[in-house]
Amino acid sequence: MSLLNRYTSSVGRWTVRKLTWPRRVAESARTTVEQVRTGRRSVTDVAKTGLGTAGAFAMMLILLFPVYWVFAASLSQGAGLMSTDGIFADPTTYNLDAYRWVLFESNFAHALGNSIIVVSITVAVSMSVIIPGAYALSRRKFLGRRGILYGYVLFTQVGAGLSIATLIALYALFVNFGLDNNLLVLGVFYAAGAIPFNTWLLKTFMDNIPVSYEEAAVIDGASQLQVIREVILPLSKPGIAVVLVFTFLAGWNEFIIAQTLLQSHNYTLSVELYSLIAGGSYETPWTEFSAFAILFALPVAVIYFLAQSYVESGLSFGGMEG
Amino acid sequence: MSSSLIRRASDHGQRRLPFDVQNVGLAGLLLVAPGVVLFLSFMLFPIAFLVYLSFTDATHAGTVIGGEASVVGFDNYVSLFTDPQFWRSFGITWLFLAISLAIKVVLGIGIAMVLTHARVVGKRYMRALVIVPMGFPAIFVITVWDGMFSGARYGPLNQLVATYNSVVSGLVGALDSLLFFVALSAPDILLADIPISWLSGRWSAFFAYITTEVWLAYPFMVIIIVSALQDVPMDLHDAAKVDGAGYVHRFFHVTLPSIKRPVLFASILTAATSFQQFLIPFIFNRGGPSRQNELLILYGYREAIDLNEYAFASAIMVTAIAFIGMFMWLAVKKGKLAEGIDS
């Protein structure tokens, strides 16, 4: 409970900090005016900064245009998205009809159920092998440890496309054994793919737990098992949480394999999303598509950015910052 | 004397014995084994099976097991390397990789320099916003870009082109009314013919692939380059300034050398991803028009799933895996992968 409290209060502080930026902007604008008036800063200096900021801002607008478009489109049901003023539609015509369609008339709920089945299997299976594996790689010496780590890192950073290359062999095997179109098999498959990256991530996290804690526990008479249960696991909680997020995303985001293996009543959300734009109808329903896409992607994007600081530290492994 | 002999002998034996029970670390092995086995059974085993398939004459998924396929040796590889479609796919994959990589590096350095520049206020917010595409699922990003490149009259990009057209016409019109003695109209070469069916033309579809690939990968480049730029010592810049170095000179002699290594490493990784790109062509137009833009993995996938040429497709995939292996070797060679392992 205290963990939850701590978490909500830190999220609260973060939100307040992010939402009060207009006040800070006003503050610094006032300071700038003051400085110019008293002659501590020249007008050209201020103008240069203003120009630079405006340029950066314009760059951001161009880069994030697709994000704007998908939001605007999802709100423009029946308001002439595909018309002369489609991309910059009048905000007063925005409505939530497309979302209503997705939630109550499309296959969203059914596909969500399928996705949840797959994701739960992925998370359960992968966590049950990742946690012991990461512990062993972090704390134990054994034959082939270096080789396994090397293989994991290589696969993580370079070999993501290998799973598609091997997909055709797996597809043939699955078809022969009657295992295609099976949500359970799909979940296990995703779990297998998520092992290298997440084991590595959790292992680097456990590496940062000081060994002295374990030594202290051993001196107090704790057994090997107790050390794991009372020291390692509680201290790894944040790392385990991040790995949980990533294994969740591995199952939630994947499309290619699901699309190849599953038939329509087993479609997960990602395949259902694709079937909206490839559904055979002459004109793609872009407003409905956008609403569906946002409902599919926004929750995971939010979760992803809550774990963002860990993502960045995850990216720094392998001496990339060198 | 004899005891020392025994000790020497046993020492020697220990050195000879590679599988000393104490050094194997049985507990550690047992803990890590389930993960390794699960991973390998979905990765190494299919690769081995793929290699086997590539030496048979299997045609569709049903013939793969059950003795219906017979081993034919290197026939698939011979027909693969004499197939013009393979060379077209191979060429377009490398072109895709090269062009998108060049744009990613230039754009990444550009964005990172803007977002670390002293003259920009609110850099931290912008840096947080600019990597937003990283949080979206790939299928989301690619289907949204498919919408952007919609060939409809009022598709988003077609509307932007229409705006550009009217701006050009407007400018020429203004010029026309100034120069009242000549009749001017906008030259056709400056005007785009709308609506453009982006995904129906070979090069416009290729351009769409590149745009999407760059958009998918730029946040990764920006994160790496920003953190590299922040590590460039300010002293170096100041020293160069004192020596009278201009902005361009400082960029090429101070900034670039200090970020070269991370950029190189990030380039290898993102190039490997581009080489394996499958989703973009698959979703946009299945490698069309008329198979001209089939990137390598998509080529193999379509031969197997759509065209029922399993053995032939396996030969393609084995070739692709060989190149992926080359990227891995390159990453090991040029990157510092091993450092994180030994620590």
Sorted by where each starts, the structural domains of chain A and their CATH numbers stand as 24-97 (no CATH), 104-319 (1.10.3720.10)
pLDDT at A122: 94
How many domains are there within chain B? 2
Sort out which chain A residues have CB atoms less than 8 A from B327's CB and list them. 158
For residues B174 and B234, membership in a common domain is answered with no
* Residue B64: pLDDT band with limits 50, 70, 90: low
pLDDT at A263: 86
- Average pLDDT on B257-264 reads 86
For residues B124 and B230, membership in a common domain is answered with yes
For residues B161 and B281, membership in a common domain is answered with no
B145 and A CB contact within 8 Å: yes
- Answer whether residue B261 is part of any domain: yes
Q: Which of A5-14, A189-198, B116-125, B185-194 has the highest mean pLDDT?
A: A189-198
For residues B99 and B186, membership in a common domain is answered with no
pLDDT at B104 over 80: yes
Cβ count near B55 (within 10 Å): 20
- Average pLDDT on A212-219 reads 87
Sort out which chain B residues have CB atoms less than 8 A from A189's CB and list them. 42
| Cross-chain residue pair B43–A163, CB shorter than 8 Å | yes
pLDDT at B20 over 70: no
A142 and B CB contact within 8 Å: yes
pLDDT at A322: 29
* Residue B92: pLDDT band with limits 50, 70, 90: very high
* Residue B95: pLDDT band with limits 50, 70, 90: very high
| Cross-chain residue pair A165–B324, CB shorter than 8 Å | yes
Distance, CA of B330 to CA of A150 (rounded, Å): 14
- Answer whether residue B46 is part of any domain: no
pLDDT at B99: 95
Distance, CA of B198 to CA of B152 (rounded, Å): 9
**Among A273, A247, A234, which Cα is nearest to A189's?**
A247
- Answer whether residue B333 is part of any domain: yes
For residues B139 and B156, membership in a common domain is answered with no
pLDDT at B105: 94
Distance, CA of A89 to CA of A93 (rounded, Å): 8
For residues B237 and B280, membership in a common domain is answered with yes
| Cross-chain residue pair A157–B139, CB shorter than 8 Å | no
Q: Fill in the amino acid letter for B247.
A: Y
Q: How far is CA B121 from CA A13, A138, B336, in A?
A: 22, 42, 35
Tokens representing A191 are 């779990």
What ipTM was assigned to the predicted interfaces of this complex?
0.81
For residues B171 and B62, the model is more confident at B171
CATH of the domain at B101: 1.10.3720.10
Q: Comparing B36-45, B68-77, B266-275, which segment has the lowest mean pLDDT?
A: B68-77
B29 and A CB contact within 8 Å: yes
For residues B172 and B277, membership in a common domain is answered with no
**Among B137, B227, B120, B331, which Cα is nearest to A292's?**
B137
B287, B306 in Cβ contact below 8 A?
no
- Average pLDDT on A236-263 reads 87
pLDDT at B209: 93
For residues B235 and A270, the model is more confident at A270
Among positive and negative, which fits the CA dihedral B18, B22, B28, B31?
positive
* Residue A10: pLDDT band with limits 50, 70, 90: low
For residues B211 and B232, membership in a common domain is answered with yes
pLDDT at A180: 81
Contacts A–B by Cβ distance under 8 A: 322
Note the pLDDT tens digit of each residue in A90-101.
677 777 888 888
- Answer whether residue B294 is part of any domain: yes
Q: Which of B137, B223, B228 has its CB closest to that of A253?
A: B137
* Residue B265: pLDDT band with limits 50, 70, 90: confident
Distance, CA of B213 to CA of B196 (rounded, Å): 20
**Domain interval for residue B171:** 152-196
- Average pLDDT on A256-276 reads 88
For residues B177 and B288, membership in a common domain is answered with no
pLDDT at B207: 92
Q: Mean pLDDT of all residues in chain B?
A: 82
